[in-house]
Structure 1
């Protein structure tokens, strides 16, 4: 998601535009990987000394609720990234550097055949491992 589209979505949903929110979205938009709240806090602390984790998490939760960012858990903590598209796909996530790779294949049709008597409301498939660079 582009920064301008995310800001427009915030405004359309009745939320205030702030420089901090723009900087958070810009930070995620500049990185093609999952990032921890701590990494975001360290980045923002340079421009906003003393920025609190309450501020960080309040915005992360809001952005997640508005589908501006995605979240996942790995290595024992929640990580976040900018929402990358509006079409259905899954991700490979490097457990070392956090970079992601889109996987366009979805096995849901096959799984639905295996479970003909259930209604699946949603799913999330993530593959974890080391990317080519981290594995070298």
Structure 2
């Protein structure tokens, strides 16, 4: 997803444009890894020194709800990144537990499941592989 696509989603859903929202999205766009809300706050403080953690976190939560940001949990803390642009194609990630860098995985393990009980309706799933990237393991 691009910054422009993210801002368009906000507009289409009736959210007001603010420079702070755009900056949060740009910070996530510039990184190809998961960031904590604290990481994002530290970076945005350069332009908005009086911005509170609560405001940053509320915006992050809104962006997750709108599909602009993806969320995972590493070391007991929520981490966020700009949603992938894989042409709507369903995929999963490998995530470095040291630096948070991610790579897409082809395929989906749900396709390997023989059966799901007929009285159960799947509404979503999550599959992530954690480890250490080449740079961090050296």
TM class, shorter-length: over 0.9
Q: Which of structure 1's runs of 4+ aligned residues deviate more than 2 A?
A: 114-121
Matched with 2:108 is 106
Question: Offset of 1:120 from its aligned partner?
Answer: 2.6
Once the two structures are superposed, the pairs formed by residues 1-136 of structure 1 within 5 Å of their partners are: 1-85=1-85, 86-111=88-113, 113-115=114-116, 117=118, 118-136=120-138
TM-score normalised per structure 1: 0.94
Q: Which runs of 5+ in 2 are unaligned?
A: none
Residues 42-63 of structure 1, C-alpha deviation per residue, up to 9 Å, x if partnerless? 0011111121011111100110
Question: Offset of 1:114 from its aligned partner?
Answer: 4.2
Cα distance in 1 for partners of 2:122, 2:67 equals 21
What is the number of residues matched between the two proteins?
135
Question: Offset of 1:76 from its aligned partner?
Answer: 1.4
Q: Which runs of 5+ in 1 are unaligned?
A: none
Residues 12-44 of structure 1, C-alpha deviation per residue, up to 9 Å, x if partnerless? 111000001111111111111000000000001
Aligned CA-pair RMSD: 1.2
